[in-house]
Chains A and B, each alone.
Chain A
Amino acid sequence: MAGPARLTREDVAHVADLARLHLSEGELDLFTGQLASVLDHAADVASLDLAGVEPTAHAMAVTNVLRLDEPAPCLDRGEVLGQAPSVEDHRFRVPRILGEAP
């Protein structure tokens, strides 16, 4: 199986955008080379024929865990909101979204 195409500067700019990271031109150059070398190293994995092998997402079997729906103490609202950069009326406050007028 042929490995995927080599990582480009445009790919890095695209994933940085998806990950909400702004990179300078210098960082783009640096990270493109560094990430490409990591992915080149991963070619040993990417090029293996593993058809028919089951993937393992979790080494120990994981099952859904439910508890009884009984009220219990939870985190203190004031303590939680006290950690937020901006709060209004007991809610997290953020700048405008979707470009609407403030």
Chain B
Amino acid sequence: MSAPRPALETATMVRAGEESAVDVLEHHLAVIDAGEESIHAFNLVLADSARERARAVDARVAAGEDPGPLAGVPVALKDNLCTRGVPTTCSSRILDGWRPPYDATVVTRLAEAGAVVIGKTNMDEFAMGSSTETSAFGATRNPHDTSRVPGGSSGGSAAAVAAGFAPLALGSDTGGSIRQPAALCGVVGMKPTYGTVSRYGLVAFASSLDQIGPFAHTVADAALLFDVIGGHDPLDSTSLHRPTPRVLSVLDDGVDGMTVGVLTEFLDGAAPDVAARVHQAAESLAAAGARIEEVSVPEVTLGLSAYYLIAPGEASSNLARYDGVRYGLRVDAPDTVAMNTATRSEGFGAEVKRRIMLGTYVLSAGYMDAYYNQALKVRTRIIEGFAAAYTRCDVLLGPTAPTTAFAIGAKVDDPLTMYLSDVCTIPSNLAGHPAISVPFGPGDDGLPVGVQLLGPALSEGTLFQVAAVVEAAAPDQPAPRLAAGAAS
């Protein structure tokens, strides 16, 4: 099959009146129709509202107006992004049927840019998971091999882009939930600097770590989407007041004279075929004029443990709001405490319960100093470790995930093993730094490998610049069989 048409090209054609937004949408709805049953990327396909929106885009073009940089481009939204009047479930029974009374800021910005929201994507329940198997509505399958997971927690968004259901998608990344599924599904996925994309209307998991970011087939399309969603928002008190880097305009600037550090700690735990791809990516950057160094940041090896103390701690507090009073599920009981307990026990799945209990435990008297406060100090150490590396390197390079996509069911009964799939992505969240996963050919099993580029806070411009060079050198990855012949 030919590669799916980039969103940049689609938007240009729609803006010029050379193709209608309605035709673009109908093409994607047909691809969904043909493939969704075997993938289950969506919790909800919004065909009717998307058609209405596409017609409005076409009407603006006909009237001589410019609908914006994403004119007529279908975008899939992770189902933890609030959409006014449209169910937003976080793939949890506790929010089944909830219709938020407001739009997330990123949803508003997409609309202002002329995008067409095509559906809400499946995810691990409340974004807690690395395989999309903890969804209350069933697992999503990897379009490259439907016996494998798509990664997670934004597995539905990654699979939707990989399968050609939408050229662009948004996810959220708390410990790798954009980058890891992007790697496993063979698409580009990026976690921005903390505070560059508004979290208003993103259902909170771990508020000091959560960031919304783009999925796309190409680095340029991810840049296009990041430029649309980034920037200060008065509705998010953690939104940065500093200018957000613009990235689409720097994509062709190259890596000549840059220093790229290959992060040895990330390679240590990677499968040999994944590590080989990382070395190959480093060689391609060297060929493009970058200086390559091996760099050690020993503190990152503590990231996984620190994360699984900090993130559950924050989650246990954030998820206290699901009490059966204001929205979502209520299981009736004679008094309010019994009602709260019955509602939460029935509404939450096992992984969410585990994290709530873990978080409650590490924040409880007698254990807070030993676990939670200790983890916050490790967070300082990780930030210092990265800072030392960035005195010598512009960016760091490593694998996104230690392996290619694993089999559905392989890790779901062993939480700690599942958590280890986030070992290379977590440190960036703890540090608040941006990072991007770029597909870099197949592994030995033929499934996609992602290489990850990490940079200091607000280095998005540099990251996208380097990512574009990596992408240009990437070995071919066979397209998912499901989408074969379906793309126009």
**A residues whose Cβ falls under 8 Å from a Cβ of B:** 3-4, 7, 11-12, 15-16, 18-23, 27, 31, 34-35, 37-39, 41-46, 48, 50, 53-60, 62, 65, 67, 75-76, 79-80, 83-86, 92, 94-97, 99
Contacts and interface: CB of A to CB of B under 8 A. Distances in A.
18 contacts: A4-B366, A19-B360, A20-B340, A21-B344, A34-B415, A38-B416, A41-B308, A42-B308, A42-B375, A48-B302, A60-B195, A75-B101, A80-B326, A85-B327, A85-B330, A92-B325, A95-B335, A97-B336
A22 B345 contact: yes
Nearest to B366: A4
A20 B323 contact: yes
A53 B381 contact: yes
A59 B378 CA distance: 12
Contacts of B361: 7, 11-12, 15, 35, 39
Q: Which of A4, A38, A75 has the most CB of B within 10 A?
A: A38
Given A18-B364, A19-B316, A59 B430 contact: yes
B176 interface: no
A15 B363 CA distance: 10
A67 B236 CA distance: 12
Contact of A86 (B99, B330, B371): B330
B119 interface: no
Contacts of B3: none
A12 B101 contact: no
Contacts of A23: 345, 353
A95 B333 contact: yes
A85 B324 CA distance: 7
B144 interface: no
Contacts of A11: 361
Interface string B42-86: 000000000000000000000000000000000000000000000
Contact of B357 (A35, A62, A67, A94): A35
Contacts of A56: 376-377, 379-380, 383
B354 interface: yes
A25 B288 CA distance: 60
B374 interface: yes
A62 B433 CA distance: 15
Given A42-B305, A42-B308, A21 B416 contact: no
Contacts of B335: 95-97, 99
Main secondary structure of the interface of B (DSSP, over half): helix
A23 B333 CA distance: 16
Contacts of B380: 53-56
Contact of A59 (B305, B330, B334, B379): B379
Given A41-B304, A60-B195, A96 B334 contact: yes
B354 A21 contact: no
A26 to B, nearest CB: 11
A56 B344 CA distance: 31
B457 interface: yes
A58 B309 CA distance: 14
Contacts of A20: 323, 337, 340-341, 344
A19 B357 contact: yes
Q: Which of A54, A57, A76 has the most CB of B within 10 A?
A: A57
Interface in B164-200: 193-195
A64 to B, nearest CB: 8
Nearest to A67: B234
B341 A21 contact: yes
B388 to A, nearest CB: 15
A55 B373 CA distance: 7
Given A21-B341, A46-B374, A57-B376, A41 B416 contact: yes
Q: Which of B102, B305, B373 has the most CB of A within 10 A?
A: B305
B314 to A, nearest CB: 9
B342 interface: yes
Contact of A12 (B208, B234, B305, B357): B357
A85 B305 CA distance: 38
A72 to B, nearest CB: 11
Nearest to A93: B325
